[in-house]
Amino acid sequence: MVWRPAPLVGSLAGDVVRYVLAAASVLGAGLLLGYRSQGGVGGTVAAVALLVLFAVCLTWVWLLVGLVARSASSVTAASTLLFPLAFLGDVFVPARTLPDWLRVVVEVNPVAHLARAVRDLMAGTGVTSSVVWTLVCALVLVVVFVPWTLAVYRRR
């Protein structure tokens, strides 16, 4: 007999492998181009671990969307709603240069905190408020979406 949540867990495990490979590819390309992490090996490992942890927690949102969506195109449409989160942050532009209303959005955007946290760990600044914020956001994602996803999955 197959464990009932095995497809969800298998999908999640596959995502973890993809996330780690993607991070290794980006780090490898950065090293080839001359990037050196001021955080050393420890800061780099912590940054990748935080990135993968947050991505895994966010994956539960997409598992739920996949379970309730009626078609693959509706999942794609839903993903376009979250796409702007990457740009509503200080990843590409310093937050201090943004208009006040947009700065407020940046301060509550979990993706912006994740980017800052990874940047801080790689820069050797250590655990900053952005790291803590990212961990809190990841915990909220797990507390809300894991039970919800499993409940929807059990009903199918």
Domain for residue 17, yes or no?
yes
Domain for residue 22, yes or no?
yes
pLDDT band at residue 54 under the 50/70/90 scheme: very high
Contact 124, 43 (CB under 8 A): yes
pTM tops 0.75: yes
Mean pLDDT of 61-72: 90
C-beta atoms surrounding 80 within 10 Å: 8
Residue 156 vs residues 68, 86, 150, 151: alpha-carbon distances, Å: 10, 33, 10, 9
* pLDDT given for residue 83 in this prediction: 77
- In the chain, % of residues over pLDDT 70: 100
Domain for residue 113, yes or no?
yes
* pLDDT given for residue 147 in this prediction: 96
* pLDDT given for residue 84 in this prediction: 78
Domain for residue 105, yes or no?
yes
Domain for residue 138, yes or no?
yes
Domain for residue 1, yes or no?
no
Mean pLDDT of 98-112: 88
Domain for residue 65, yes or no?
yes
Range of the domain at 135: 6-155
- Structural domains in the chain (count): 1
In 3D space, the residue among 72, 37, 53 whose CA is nearest the CA of residue 134 turns out to be 53
The Cα 12–Cα 59 span in angstroms is 7
Q: Which two tokens mark 50?
A: 């935080």
Residues 6+ apart with CB under 8 A from 119: none
* pLDDT given for residue 2 in this prediction: 78
Domain for residue 52, yes or no?
yes
